Amino acid sequence: MPHEIHKAIARNAMLMKALPEQHRDTLLSRAIWKHYDRGETLFLQDEEATAIHIVLDGWIKLYRVTPSGNEAVVSVFARGESFGEAVALRNAPYPVSAEAATPCDVMHIPSNALVDLIRHDSEVGLTILSSTFNHLHSLVSQLEQLKAQTGAQRVGFFLLALADCETGQCTVKLPYDKVLIAGRLGMKPESLSRSFARLKDAGVKIEKDMARISDIQALRDYVEEEQ
Amino acid sequence: MPHEIHKAIARNAMLMKALPEQHRDTLLSRAIWKHYDRGETLFLQDEEATAIHIVLDGWIKLYRVTPSGNEAVVSVFARGESFGEAVALRNAPYPVSAEAATPCDVMHIPSNALVDLIRHDSEVGLTILSSTFNHLHSLVSQLEQLKAQTGAQRVGFFLLALADCETGQCTVKLPYDKVLIAGRLGMKPESLSRSFARLKDAGVKIEKDMARISDIQALRDYVEEEQ
DNA sequence: CCGATATCTTGACTTTCATCAAGGGGTTTG
DNA sequence: CAAACCCCTTGATGAAAGTCAAGATATCGG
């Protein structure tokens, strides 16, 4: 039953984690679960935002259509990540479009649900605000730390974040389009390809759109090596 | 009269920018202005946070004392930046210590002032929350974009952010300790030194702790070159 | 089933940055 | 005043990633 797993993922998304149990339940009860096939559109640029989105499974890409007509990928989100908070809280129009890069499960939390919660209990606003600042600082230091690692280590770290098991072997599903992953990790497709090749020594095998990790702990050791 | 300039800087700090005029005035009226000499301590690790800090002039470094006894710089903040929001909003103990890396002017906003504002008007919480998410995303994309530039371009960008004039020539004051700047820009001191050398072509001259930019626009052009 | 197109991988070369090592300029200390 | 020290700069070298180009593989349409 994937539903229970999805609930657990949603509960641990950054936005929800800050809240006490009962408030999370409130939000979950008002949330909308939805499946998207590859290429399906979540929303288009200039549409008015009415919800915050949490990726439960799969990959979402945010893109902007350039004046010259082709699309520029702004960012890519994987399982457990949320996006659209800023615009949803103001009911502003989206500055980008969103599309499923792989088959996806997404939870939509109506922005009203969150706004109601904050209006009703200003303590909730303070809590989320505080955890957001924390998240902001940890993100910055995380990005700085990632610079100190090699490409292969960054890829390994990234795979670990997506692995849903604690030990032993594990399989991670990747988007078909490797350019998306490369962009997300701040490298060129060629470099990503070479990083994958190096990760073979750490027990990672790439098969089409799946990454097989033969030993989670071995990969952890590899990522944390000599920094 | 530097006081007016400081007020303008404070009003434009990320935290304040989100708020409507009258609320900014409220916060400013309850804020404490303070000067610190080089090496002076703002707060120590484990002290309870009671204020949010905005750097008006100079450089503040956040550091942690490692078990082995020497200090590790966690981050460095320059004019216009704020820090300590997350801990202040929860009255939690500081996880790091803060010290003036140069002579500094700092504004302290008592966390009570902000908390009162949010408690009294939950709309304020929503506004700050929304602007914080914006800031978060812009920070991430900014960091990603910076990776695509050479070291010299990053240094140039950094100097531009500190320059307080729009056109013509300008002088930026740097911390005495260049290791701080290097750390902030994610490079080694040697690389920083070489980047400075390259920026001579873009009309930047380093004299002790001052960077003289002979033409702001020329530097802008250099930074944006061929990406 | 086969060819056309797009995507991914591999190879050779270049640029950039980290590292190690040595030299220079200023300040501090005996 | 000179020796010691600190920090910054400069040089040489190597590792990592970007670029350009070619080859391999996969996907799609006929």
- Cα B216 to Cα B143: distance, rounded to the nearest angstrom: 22
- Kindly tell me the number of DSSP H helices and DSSP E strands found in chain A: 10, 11
pLDDT given for residue B98 in this prediction: 94
Kindly list the protein residues whose beta carbon lies within 7 Å of any strand C atom: A 176-179, 189-190, 192-194, 196-197, 206; B 150-152, 154, 186-188, 190-191, 195
Of residues A74, A85, A143, nearest to B143 (C-beta)? A143
Cβ of B197 near strand D (under 7 Å)? The reply is yes
Which pLDDT does position B148 carry in this prediction? 75
| pLDDT surpassing 80 at residue A27 | yes
Chain-centroid distance of CA B16 in Å reads: 14
Where is B208: in which H helix or E strand? none
All residues at 6 or more sequence positions from A85 whose CB lies less than 8 Å from its CB, including other chains: A15, A52, B129, B130, B133
For position B12, what pLDDT does the model report?
Answer: 87
Distance of CA A76 to the CA centre of its chain: 7
Determine the nucleotide nearest to B186 by Cα–C1' distance. Answer: C17
pLDDT at residue B48 in the model: 95
Q: Do B130 and A186 touch (CB under 8 A)?
A: no
Q: Does A1 score more than 70 pLDDT? A: no
**DSSP letter at A26?**
H
Burial of residue A196 (number of CB atoms within 10 Å: 0-12, 13-18, 19+): buried
Compute chain B's Rg from CA coordinates.
18
Q: Which residue's structure tokens are 């984690």? A: A17
Contact: B86, A133; criterion CB under 8 Å: yes
**Start-to-end Cα distance in chain B:** 41
According to the model, what pLDDT value does residue B67 have? 62
- Chain A residues whose beta carbon lies within 8 Å of the beta carbon of residue B125: 118, 122, 125-126, 129
A86:B139 CB<8 A: no
Burial class (CB in 10 A: 0-12, 13-18, 19+), B208: exposed
Residue A70 has pLDDT above 80, yes or no: no
pLDDT score of A217 more than 70: yes
Contact: A147, B186; criterion CB under 8 Å: yes
pLDDT higher at A189 or B121: A189
Q: Which two tokens stand for residue A157?
A: 């770290």
Query: Distance between CA A124 and CA A132 in Å, rounded?
Result: 12
Burial class from Cβ neighbours inside 10 Å (0-12, 13-18, 19+) for residue B2 reads: exposed
- Closest among B52, B39, B110 to B81, alpha carbons compared: B52
C-alpha to C-alpha distance for A54 and A107, rounded to whole angstroms = 5
A25 touches A134 (CB < 8 A): no
Cα A195 to Cα B102: distance, rounded to the nearest angstrom? 42
Chain A residues within 8 angstroms (CB to CB) of chain B: 74-75, 85-86, 89-90, 115, 118-119, 122, 125-126, 128-137, 139-141, 143-144, 147, 186
Look up residue B181 and give its two tokens.
């700047």
Residues in B closer than 8 angstroms to A147, CB to CB, are 147, 186
- Mean pLDDT value across chain A: 88
Give residue B166's pLDDT. Answer: 85
Distance of CA A152 to the CA centre of its chain: 20
Q: Which residue of A has its CA nearest to B84?
A: A133
* Ordered mean pLDDT values, 10 residues apiece, chain B (227 residues): 81 87 92 92 94 93 74 84 89 91 93 90 87 80 76 92 87 87 89 94 88 92 78
How high is the pLDDT of residue B2? 58
Angle formed by the axes of helices B111-120 and A122-147, to 10°? 130
Q: Which of A138, A185, A20 is nearest to A193 (CA)?
A: A185
pLDDT > 60? residue A159: yes
Q: Which residue is nearest to nucleotide D18 (CA to C1')?
A: A188
How far, in Å, are A80, B76, B77, B102 from residue B174 at the CA level? Answer: 40, 12, 12, 8
- Cβ neighbours of residue B92 closer than 8 Å, sequence gap 6 or more: B48, B49, B86
Residue A63 has pLDDT above 80, yes or no: yes
Tens digit of pLDDT for each residue in A83-103?
998 899 888 999 899 999 888
**Element at B66 (helix H, strand E):** none
State pLDDT tens for residues A110-145. 999 999 998 888 888 888 888 888 888 777 777 767
Cα–Cα separations (whole angstroms), residue A168 to A162, A211, B182? 15, 14, 40
| pLDDT tops 70 at residue A150 | yes
Given a cut of 70, is residue A226 above it in pLDDT? no
Question: Does residue A69 register a pLDDT over 70?
Answer: no
Are the CB atoms for B84 and B16 separated by under 8 Å?
no
Residue located via tokens 């990672």: A204
Contact A11, A17 (CB under 8 A): yes
Which DSSP string do the residues of A154-206 spell out, in sequence order? HHHHHHHHH---SSS-EEEE--S-HHHHHHHTTS-HHHHHHHHHHHGGGTEEE
CB B43 under 7 Å to nucleic chain D:
no
